[in-house]
Each structure stands twice: as C-alpha cells, then as structure tokens.
Amino acid sequence: MEKPSVLRDAQDLTVIGQTGDQRDNYVYAVKPSLEIMEAFYELSIAMPLDKNIPAFQQHWKFDKKEGIKGSSTSLVLRFDCRIRPYGLWIPGLLEAKVLESQGKLERGTYGDYGFVIYSNDNPNKQVAEVLVSQAKELGLKLPLIVPFKALNYSVEGKEIKPSFVKSPQGIISGKEAQDEINFLKYHKANSGINGLMHNEIGCWTNCSLDASDDDGRVDWVCGEASRKILGEAYSELSERKYGNRIKELIEEQRLDRDNFEKSLQETQ
C-alpha cells in the first residue's frame, strides 16, 4: 500500500499542538476520507493468523457510508500498529480531549483511546505483570495511561501479548495519571489493566480490553505536519466544505437583487 495522503481529502481536521522538537511542526488529528479508512481497515484484517485470535473476533467491519463500525482496546491496538508505517497513530487521551473540547467526539457512539495500568493484578494479570515490570524498567510510576502508539503486541497461541515499544511516547504516569483517572465516571477500576473508553453518552470510563459492540467507531487518526502543509490542507477542506454553499448563496443573492430590481421597474 502506497503512503496515503490523509490530509488530501480529509473530512475534518484540527491542530492538537506543536511538537516538542520542531517549532514549525504540529501534531494534528484528521478524520480521513472513507476511501482511505477502508484501505486501512483492509490492512488491519490482512493477517491470516488473526482469524484464530479471539480478541480480534469482536465487532469490526467497514460500512461504505459510516466507516469502521465496532471497536475494542485490542482491535484498536492492532489497527494502530498497522497505520504506524504511514506516520499515523490513533489518538491517545490527550489528543482525544482536544477533540472532545471541540465537540468532535460523536455522541451515541464510543471510542477506545488506550490502556490504563493500575497494578500487576487481575484483570488481565499475565499481561499486567509483563507491562508493570517493563514500566519499572522505564522509570514510570503507576498508575499509567498508555496510548496505543506506545505499545506493540505479539501472538502466543490464541492470546495477544502487549509490550512497550522501545522508546514509548505519550504515556501519562503517577499523580498526573491518577488525576485523569479521578474524572472517570463509570466502571472506575483500581487494579490490573483496563481499557480507556469515551462512551456513548460522552463520559470517560474503564472497560474490558475486549469489550465491543456495533456502536464503536475508529474515525480519527493523528500525525505530524508543517504549518504550510496544514494550512494548505485546511484551505482545501474549507473549499470542499463551504465552496458550493458560498456559490449557492451568491446565486441566491443575485436572484434576490434581480427580483428587487424587477419590482422597482414594475412599479414605475
């Protein structure tokens, strides 16, 4: 698959913030076209061995009008791993909260935005023991809120085994993570590993790693680009979004003016 230009025909676009190392480089979140999301969806299910993994047999399909329908923590981790070679990733909590503040997280659907690691206990004790041990080696303090881009996974038997990437980024740890956890509304956990979900009624909550139904959505991805590229992408998006409406309004204004001039002539 060639490297897609997710900005070329984006459905929506927002700037998250500047990157830490380059002043002219920005993190953005984009809602790609359905065409590109379908290509990513096909990429996500391309591994034949996935058919034997229960964690990947949850709600996950592509709808030509709505995009990806269905989601779970495990499924989105797999999806994130597939789009990384294209310089993209699924939003973590920090990016998702920017989208939320702008009213861009759709009500009536839910999205998965990472893992919450509390301890090396249940639920998911075996995975928790591995990740907590790795977290200690990285100098991270529990609890942790971990975006998908900070994790890889391997397959052993019929189970997936998440592990940290070599230099994980975007992890929220210790007191800062606990402060975020305190705002969870439902199913707030205190041990093991849980998923982090923004649910159908607009609340943040913990969830099972494999919790999934047809209301799930995976519709935003993040990337990095320069001010110039983002400016061009926004101009093109704005033209697609407003261009025809502006032309229609101009035509409506012209017709109104013509009718007004006609009424003046008729009264003479």
pLDDT at position 195 is 97
Name the pLDDT band for 51 (thresholds 50, 70, 90): confident
Name the pLDDT band for 4 (thresholds 50, 70, 90): low
**Torsion from C-alpha of 139, 145, 147, 152, nearest 10 degrees:** 60
Q: Which residues contact 135 (CB under 8 A, 6 or more apart)?
A: 117, 142, 144, 164, 173
How confident is the prediction for the chain on average, in pLDDT? Answer: 92
pLDDT at position 138 is 96
pLDDT at position 263 is 65
Name the pLDDT band for 2 (thresholds 50, 70, 90): low
pLDDT at position 267 is 64
E strand spans, the chain:
12-18, 25-31, 61-63, 67-69, 111-117, 144-146, 151-156, 159-164, 172-173, 193-198, 204-207, 221-226
pLDDT at position 48 is 87
Tens-digit pLDDT profile for residues 65-116? 999 999 999 999 999 999 999 999 999 999 999 999 999 999 999 999 999 9
pLDDT greater than 70 at residue 208: yes
Handedness of CA 231, 235, 236, 237 (dihedral sign): positive
pTM above 0.85, yes or no: yes
Name the pLDDT band for 188 (thresholds 50, 70, 90): confident
Tens-digit pLDDT profile for residues 16-36? 999 866 678 999 999 999 999
Name the pLDDT band for 254 (thresholds 50, 70, 90): confident
pLDDT at position 193 is 97
Tens-digit pLDDT profile for residues 56-72? 999 999 999 999 999 99
Name the pLDDT band for 246 (thresholds 50, 70, 90): low
Distance CA 80, CA 221 (A): 9
Q: Which residue has the higher pLDDT, 99 or 239?
A: 99
pLDDT average, residue stretch 117-136: 96
Check if the beta carbon of residue 199 is closer than 8 Å to that of residue 106.
no
pLDDT average, residue stretch 123-135: 96
